[in-house]
A and B are shown apart, each in its own frame.
Chain A
Amino acid sequence: MTPVLEVRGASVVFRQVAALTGVDLQVAAGERVALVGSNGSGKSTLLRVLHGLQRLSSGSVVVAPQVRQAMLFQRPFMLRTSVRNNVALGLWMGGLRWREAQAQAVAGLGQVGLADLASRNASTLSGGQQQRVALARAWVRRPDVLLLDEPTASLDPHAKREVEALMDRFASGTGERPMTMVFASHNLGQVKRLASRVVYLEQGRVAADLPVQDFFNTQRLQEASAAAHLFVKGELV
């Protein structure tokens, strides 16, 4: 099957520091890929490469034709305007008329349980609410691929669970075709709950790429990558 996203020999160098080195990755439609690794391992850089925000120093990125992407960031940016306008913005930039975009935005906010906050100034919302608005903003564009860069890292446990539940629901497709999801996370519990496949990055290289059940199987992980095993052991202690 043709992958929706493919990275071949990707390298990114920032001022003589290699953020990514020779990364090969293929993501099939409907997969939920978790990128894990220590700070500075290249997770965010890889996501930005996949989304076209980061140019490669060498290698290539191939996105299947007509695949729509959306990306969520750790701290979502909300314009100083209503929640509804923030969600409508992406649709408007995609060519929809403003009134139509606003109507679809309200429907999208309903999907994340925030329709009653549509008129509120988005910058006054809590972190968890803003991340749900960001999810609505991504979801209304009906992406085929959803990229998320540590979307729950700065949230309290309750907000984390709410956002995770939405990620799970959107990735499942709720009756429509499932969405492909690639997300970076430090939270191995979250990875276990949401991912179908785990890619472990170390110093900009892919050190392990395993189905989720193998990644959390001590013996199989140790066989695949000692470094990944130590990482998981350290995180779970």
Chain B
Amino acid sequence: MSSFVQSAVTALDLVITPDPGLWTIVARSLAVSGAACLLACGFGLVAGAWLAVARFPGRGALLTLLNTLLAVPSVVVGLVVYLLLSRSGPLGGLGWLFSFQAMVLAQCILVLPVVTALTRQVVEDAERAHGEQLQSLGAGTLLRSLLLAWDERYALLTVLIAAFGRAVSEVGAVMVVGGNIDGFTRVMTTAIALETSKGDLPLALALGIVLLAVVLVLNALIALVRRWRERVEGGSGAILAGVGA
């Protein structure tokens, strides 16, 4: 117990006195996950909104596939991206394996189904309630999906926050495609895994504290957005319950 307490004290010390090694890892984690989420949202928000409104043969099967992809293990995503980026893979020429770009790609693929599926749910609820009236005004499928997504922008903001939480917390994909290279591709989750296996608990604990703090801030942001919406508009929309590490 006393070694745990010692480690915890040392960890807090690393966090409070800004240890450059620690904060470089934190900054890299936030950059990778931030870039991945922006890319995923750029496509996922539009695709999810369109799927919510459009009706076409095979839509049910596509939604089933999308929901299945929500549960794909991150290490499997890492494996697929690894195969794509390896020297003999179709994207081997990019030279991205074990790089920042590879980690961004893997996390983007990981959170894309999350963004798309959650967006679809939010916009489909709105379409059910209000789609006919927009149709009556002359809005076709794509315009309706974009208008409803824009109208539900605060709920979709929480989708973005949740996707970021999913990305920053995962370890499998970035471990496989990033290689956890010190000073280059090491992020919070891979560093925690490595330092724990080495027995260097203070650094692992310090990173864990920071990661928990990030998740806490994300959940607080979701709650703040919900309360702000309720105060401004007197209603609660489809807000997610929260994110977890």
Contacts and interface: CB of A to CB of B under 8 A. Distances in A.
B233 A51 contact: no
Interface string A76-91: 1101100000000110
A77 B233 contact: no
A21 to B, nearest CB: 22
A123 interface: yes
A93 B143 contact: yes
Contacts of B132: 48, 53, 73
B136 A71 contact: yes
Which DSSP category, helix, strand, loop or mixed, fits chain B's interface?
helix
Interface in B143-197: 143, 147, 150-151, 153
B137 A123 contact: no
B59 interface: no
Interface string A112-151: 0000000001011000000000000100000000000000
B136 A80 contact: no
Interface string A49-81: 001010000000000000000110100110110
Given A79-B147, A123-B233, A93 B137 contact: yes
Contacts of B6: none
Interface residues of A, number: 18
Interface in B229-243: 232-234
Nearest to A81: B151
Contacts of B91: none
B138 interface: yes
A127 B234 CA distance: 14
Contact of A79 (B143, B151, B234): B151
Interface residues of B, number: 18
Interface string A195-222: 0000000000000000000000000000
Interface string B207-236: 000000000000000000000000011100
Contacts of B137: 89-90, 93, 137
A175 interface: no
A77 B133 contact: yes
Nearest to B137: A90
B139 A51 contact: no
Given A80-B233, A123-B233, A73 B138 contact: no
A94 interface: yes
A124 B233 CA distance: 6
B136 A93 contact: no
A93 B139 contact: yes
B138 A93 contact: yes
- Closest A-B pairs by Cβ, 5 of them: A77-B130, A77-B133, A93-B138, A90-B137, A71-B136
Interface of B: 129-130, 132-139, 143, 147, 150-151, 153, 232-234
Given A71-B136, A79-B150, A121-B232, 16 more contacts: A48-B132, A53-B132, A53-B135, A53-B136, A70-B136, A71-B133, A73-B136, A77-B129, A77-B134, A79-B147, A80-B233, A89-B147, A90-B137, A93-B137, A93-B139, A93-B143
Interface of A: 48, 51, 53, 70-71, 73, 76-77, 79-80, 89-90, 93-94, 121, 123-124, 137
